[in-house]
Amino acid sequence: MITFEQVSVRYDDTDRPALRDVDLTVEEGELCLVVGHTGVGKSTLLGTVNGLVPHFTGGTLYGRVTVDGRDTAHHPPRELADVVGVVGQDPLDGFVTDTVEEELAYTMEQLAIAPHVMRKRVEETLDLLGLADLRRRALYELSGGQQQRVAIGAVLTAHPRVLVLDEPTSALDPSAAEEVLAAVTRLVHDLGVTVLMAEHRLERVVQYADRVLHLPGDGRVVDGPPAEIFRTSSIAPPIVDLGRAAGWSPLPLSIRDARRAAAPLRGRLAGQPPPPAAAPRGAGRAAEALLKARGVTVSYQGVPAVREVGLDLRGGQVTALMGRNGSGKSSLLWALQGSGPRTSGTVEVAAAADGKAPGDPHTMAPALARRAVGLVPQTPSDLLYLESVQQELAQADRESAAAGPGAGTARALLDRLAPGIDGATHPRDLSEGQKLALVLAIQLSAAPRVLLLDEPTRGLDYRAKTELIRIVGTLAGEGRAVVIATHDVEFVARAADRVVVMAQGDVVADGPTRDVIVASPVFAPQTAKILAPLPFLTVDQVTTALDRLATGPAGPGSGADA
Amino acid sequence: MARTDPGPAESPPPGPGTPPPGPGVPPPGRAAPDTGGRRLPRILHPVAWWIWALALATAVSRTNNPLLLFLVLAVLGYVVTARRTEAPWARGFVYYLYLAATVVAIRVLFRAVFATGITPHDHFLFALPHIPTPDWYAGIQLGGPVSLEALLSAATDGLRLACMLCCIGAANTLANPKRALRVLPGALHELGVAVTVAISVAPQLVQSVRRVARARRLRAGRSKGLTALRGIVVPVLEDALERSLRLAAGMDSRGYGRAGTASRRSRRVTGALMLLGMCGLCAGAYGLLDATAPAFLGLPALGVGALLCVGGLRTGGRRVTRTTYRPDPWRLPEWAVAGTGVLSALLLFANIGYDAAELNPSIYPLSWPTLPPVPTLAILLAGTAGFLAPPPTEPRAVPARRTEKAATT
């Protein structure tokens, strides 16, 4: 279906090619997963399939890419629209019309398909993706999962043979992501559509993949069956990490297979007290509440987004704020910081040793509120407006100095968070993880004791997430209270001490990570699902426990795959 | 009265052999066949609204009578409130009213400042300080005495212009701009899409301005002055640019602008035809409006220009092959709405049954304007569009949100 022959792609302003000597064939009806760290050329690889690379992005393509017998060198994306359908990360970016039905018809209109055929296909697609109830709704009113399904439907109506999905679930909460992935697998199984999909959160998709294309980072593409590729790849979901640690062979990729393979492991770990999931916080673990919120309500035009939420944030504690899209997480964080609206309720920041007075951040001057509570918004780049990292950092120092003596310069903070960022770089050229670190450094330069992060894990790969976990651990270790709004269960399991779950503006669960997360089948991380009823949450816990067993008084274990 | 809720009670039972549902049908479950009945909620063809509004604007251009002009405003207000939807573009009429008021105010102000002198018969109102202008600028006088007559004539002039503006505003409010763009001939497809993208990106731009402005408080950035502006403008523009690029890439991969049978030559022919045709149209319009222009510049030039334009659109349209999903139907209500508009314009041009002087009451000497019956009737006739057009469909979400609000408060 798709053939790459000796394909290399080089962008004009870079010294090394984004893709190098790629030779592969994707057969009809395969679900191909494209994995790799950020910036290794995943999007480039996907772009070559419908000719966006190089027709739209520029750069030079050597070799030959053929899709359904058509050479992309001679066919620009629009001429391939009937063969390849492309769905991007943020569905709202790609919508051309106003309503679901019109959006579904748009591609067909461009392809000059007869009106009666369009009618029929729109109805079929509405049913196939479960969108029939939404047909007349405006696109911007839909939830993220619904929008993404509409975006997939909108390319499907043209009956493409190939579907290219570039991180389709990265903006979605777990259940919306399930919804989209279920739709995709249904397409593969029922219609035989060939799917090429890039995805960061592998734990969601790895079980559906027929084949994995791994981009190790030097421009090459390694392809093979998932169990084989993940045996050695540098990037892997927790289930694979657990399988590797336990030495299972063949590597299980679904929870079902892993649970079957895990019976002996569960037997060995039974009775072992699980080591703490998050890194120990040391001396910073103070019981003192740094921020007290009581009855916080936020409404927009009479519709409440947050309803009478009470929350105590303690120093040295990492709190994860979870809940589906639109459950009021962001509104709560903004209200706690004081910059967002608050309809009623009180927020009080505790007095600090260095003379910061207790008070309500909402009534403080922005410069003071910033010293009390720091917030990193969902799109960190909203805060960046200067030409270089150096200028941003200098500006941050000036802003913080205006509010009193800071806790060191922003540059020092950045070097601690993410060493080795060149000061002359333009902030837009940084990777998502680096941008996050830069904004974090800017906000930390005011030395707030409470730090709120609004969905920082969006768009981060495994390596960047591990980095973030380390950073968050350090911040908590210094005695700060950290709140992270996120959808990422695996991240929460590794980073958070406490989980608060919100639904429709209410707090529905609040407690230690282990209790909240394991109790829910949707929220449980893979390790917990595999080892239930044992209270293990992360692979690190398991390996630590196994090490302890191996060196413990019981003597060396009888091998991991006993 | 006509704004009944599109409940199931209103839908007649589906009869045998009903045509496939047209636009504006409620979702399945409360299926209602579109039998062309007037009371079934549906969206009127956008072109019908445009013809109606443009005809009314033409009618307005004939009169200077403030009473008639106010009547036109009242009619526009009635039709807009009766037949607009809940869509974002349908909330814009009030801004056109503001614009109209500004036009009148500017007109009056300029007339007062750039005074043209005063005759002994005029009613003197007040005098502005006279500013002497240099000799080479002698034609224009700044300041000086201001008469009631001058201000009144400026105000009625301004009001006429304001009425025409409001007519355009009403068309924009009543017709979905994206659907209206669909009737553009194929050759202008690109133009239509450019406007579509602009319409889609504009609300997102407003959203990202709000988001960035809110985020600025997080850095305790100054909220006034040039630095603040930069802190908002730079991220917003970068965001908008990235969005537009992604949208453009998305449209490209969804087949927008697929080449039909176009060649470089046919594209050049199209361009030349369109350009010449436009020149012809302009010359023709000039010839028609200016009585002193030579005769060949009038209708003949207009005709030739129109022909060239049609030819250009034809050849250009051939290279874009696309179809339309659910084209808007043109039925009785469309004829009725467009017809009332055109009829009222014709009545105001026909000079039948009334004195043409009544359309433009004299200012010198000052007299109270009368309300001539036939033009009044003509304008009221245009107002019947308010109930001749079918009621628009209510978007599903609006009642839902209202009940949600009611439940939570």
Cross-strand pairs, A485: A321, A454
Shortest distance between the Cα of B230 and any Cα of chain A, in A, equals 7
Check if A383 contacts B (Cβ < 8 Å): yes
Q: Which residues of A touch B218 (CB under 8 A)?
A: 337, 339, 366, 370, 374-375, 377, 383, 443
pLDDT, residue B17, reads 39
pLDDT, residue B262, reads 59
Residue B396 has pLDDT above 60, yes or no: no
Residue A85 has pLDDT above 90, yes or no: yes
Predicted confidence band at B219 (pLDDT cuts at 50, 70, 90)? confident
A81 and B253: CB-CB below 8 Å?
Answer: yes
B254 and A113: CB-CB below 8 Å?
Answer: no
pLDDT, residue A462, reads 85
Predicted confidence band at B29 (pLDDT cuts at 50, 70, 90)? very low
Shortest CA distance to A228 belongs to which of A517, A482, A413, A33? A33
Shortest distance between the Cα of B326 and any Cα of chain A, in A, equals 7
Residue B406 has pLDDT above 60, yes or no: no
Contact A65, A43 (CB under 8 A): no
8-state DSSP, B320 = B
Average pLDDT in the A334-338 region?
A: 91
Residue A282 has pLDDT above 70, yes or no: no
Considering only CB atoms, A442 lies closest to which of B28, B219, B397, namely: B219
* Chain A nearest-CA residue for B189: A110
Report H helices in A338-458: 366-372, 389-402, 410-417, 432-444
Q: Which residues of B touch A383 (CB under 8 A)?
A: 215-216, 218-219, 235
Whole-angstrom distance, CA of residue A247 vs CA of residue A543: 11
Predicted confidence band at B362 (pLDDT cuts at 50, 70, 90)? confident
Q: Which of A235-249, A289-303, B172-186 has the lowest mean pLDDT?
A: B172-186
Give the contacts of A117 (CB within 8 A, at least 6 positions apart): A108
Q: How many CB pairs under 8 A join A and B?
A: 180
* Chain A nearest-CA residue for B244: A93
B214 and A334: CB-CB below 8 Å?
Answer: yes
- Does residue B137 sit in helix, strand or coil? helix
Tokens for B393, please give them. 């469909």
pLDDT, residue A336, reads 92
- Does residue A43 sit in helix, strand or coil? helix
More confident call, B379 vs B123? B379
pLDDT, residue B101, reads 95
B211 and A379: CB-CB below 8 Å?
Answer: yes
Predicted confidence band at B28 (pLDDT cuts at 50, 70, 90)? very low
B323 and A52: CB-CB below 8 Å?
Answer: no
Mutate to test the interface with A, among B189, B193, B205, B219 (most CBs of A within 10 A): B219
pLDDT, residue B354, reads 78
Whole-angstrom distance, CA of residue A146 vs CA of residue B128: 65
What element of type H or E holds B107?
helix B93-113
Average pLDDT in the A57-64 region?
A: 89
Q: Which of A85-89, A95-99, A353-357, A431-435 has the lowest mean pLDDT?
A: A353-357
* Chain A nearest-CA residue for B240: A93
Residue A171 has pLDDT above 80, yes or no: no
More confident call, B73 vs B371? B73
Whole-angstrom distance, CA of residue A392 vs CA of residue A48: 36
Surface of A (389-448) touching B: CB under 8 A: 396, 399, 402-403, 428, 442-443, 446
Whole-angstrom distance, CA of residue A249 vs CA of residue A264: 14
Shortest CA distance to A55 belongs to which of A69, A75, A36? A75
Q: Which residues of A touch B26 (CB under 8 A)?
A: 136
* Chain A nearest-CA residue for B234: A385
**Burial class, B271, CB count within 10 angstroms (exposed 0-12 / middle 13-18 / buried 19+):** middle
Q: Which residues of B touch A155 (CB under 8 A)?
A: 254
What element of type H or E holds A2?
strand A2-10
Check if A108 contacts B (Cβ < 8 Å): yes
Whole-angstrom distance, CA of residue A99 vs CA of residue A507: 33
* Chain A nearest-CA residue for B321: A112
Whole-angstrom distance, CA of residue A479 vs CA of residue A316: 4
Shortest distance between the Cα of B199 and any Cα of chain A, in A, equals 10
Whole-angstrom distance, CA of residue A265 vs CA of residue A561: 8
Residue B140 has pLDDT above 60, yes or no: yes
pLDDT, residue B33, reads 41
Q: Which of A1-5, B133-137, B234-238 has the lowest mean pLDDT?
A: B133-137
Q: What angle do CA A197, A202, A207 make, to 5 degrees?
A: 85
Average pLDDT in the B398-402 region?
A: 38
Predicted confidence band at B350 (pLDDT cuts at 50, 70, 90)? confident
Greatest mean pLDDT range, A111-115, B214-218, B314-318: A111-115
Cross-strand pairs, A484: A320, A453
Whole-angstrom distance, CA of residue A206 vs CA of residue A201: 9
Shortest distance between the Cα of B179 and any Cα of chain A, in A, equals 10
Residue B66 has pLDDT above 50, yes or no: yes
Considering only CB atoms, B257 lies closest to which of A78, A366, A402, namely: A78
Whole-angstrom distance, CA of residue A4 vs CA of residue A222: 13
- Does residue A270 sit in helix, strand or coil? coil
Contact A484, A494 (CB under 8 A): no
B326 and A105: CB-CB below 8 Å?
Answer: yes
Contact B253, A86 (CB under 8 A): yes
Shortest CA distance to B25 belongs to which of B329, B322, B324, B323? B329
Average confidence score pLDDT of chain B = 77
Considering only CB atoms, A399 lies closest to which of B27, B220, B409, namely: B220
Residue B79 has pLDDT above 90, yes or no: yes
Shortest distance between the Cα of A517 and any Cα of chain B, in A, equals 29
pLDDT, residue B190, reads 67
Considering only CB atoms, A133 lies closest to which of B27, B219, B256, namely: B27
Residue A194 has pLDDT above 90, yes or no: yes
- Does residue A62 sit in helix, strand or coil? strand
Q: What angle do CA B389, B26, A160 make, to 5 degrees?
A: 115
* pLDDT per position as a tens digit, B34-50: 444 446 788 888 899 99
**B37 φ/ψ angles, rounded to the nearest 5 degrees:** -60, 145
Whole-angstrom distance, CA of residue A85 vs CA of residue A155: 5
A52 and B218: CB-CB below 8 Å?
Answer: no
pLDDT above 70: percentage of residues in chain B:
78
